[in-house]
């Protein structure tokens, strides 16, 4: 779990493992007004400079009393603001704030949006344990299975909330 909430904090990097999730609630508290927005995107960084068409994910809005480090799947009152690229069908990111499940030997999930009714239910997983010859980070299957990189962002401060243009 330590690598999920804090990893290489002194070396921010978009192409290597990095996390400051343990500070996310403190950062969120500096500027929310009843809610905040977060973004999850999956991409394949081997394609050079990213274009919108190479990113898959979305933006969600959550009440400001929700935490980025929840230890249960109860934070379900979120709103999907935008998917990219636009599509009508569902992806595997469940309509709940990502959470840190208890460690098990049968589930690879370390940070997931899945309800986890079953130990093998890893769809919607953002961070997983490494298992040789297996791919368990698959939040947006079948569109972007086994992405090279998954980013989990938060809107900071009191900036205007995302609106479609």
For residue range 45-94, what is the model confidence (pLDDT) as tens digits? 555 444 444 667 888 999 999 999 999 999 998 998 888 776 655 556 77
Give the span between the Cα atoms of 30 and 156, in whole angstroms.
Answer: 8
By the 10 Å C-beta count (0-12 exposed, 13-18 middle, 19+ buried), 49 is classed as exposed
Tokens of 118: 């079953």
Indicate if the pLDDT at residue 161 is higher than 90. no
pLDDT of residue 49: 47
| 148 φψ region: left (φ > 0), alpha (ψ -120 to 50), beta (else) | alpha
pTM above 0.85, yes or no: no
């Amino acid at each position: 779990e330590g690598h999920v909430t804090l990893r290489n904090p002194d070396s921010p990097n978009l192409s290597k493992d990095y996390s400051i999730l343990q500070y996310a609630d403190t950062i969120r508290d500096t500027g929310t007004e009843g809610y905040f927005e977060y973004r999850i995107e999956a991409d394949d960084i081997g394609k050079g400079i990213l274009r919108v068409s190479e990113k898959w994910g979305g933006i969600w809005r959550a009440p400001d009393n929700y935490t980025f480090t929840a230890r249960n799947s109860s934070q379900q009152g979120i709103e999907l603001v935008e998917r990219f690229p636009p599509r009508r069908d569902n992806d595997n990111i469940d309509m709940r704030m990502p959470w840190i499940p208890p460690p098990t030997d049968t589930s690879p999930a370390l940070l997931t949006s899945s309800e986890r009714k079953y130990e093998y239910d890893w769809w919607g997983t953002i961070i997983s344990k490494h298992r040789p010859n297996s791919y368990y980070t698959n939040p947006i299957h079948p569109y972007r299975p086994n992405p090279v990189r998954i980013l989990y962002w938060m809107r900071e401060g009191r900036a205007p909330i995302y609106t479609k243009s």
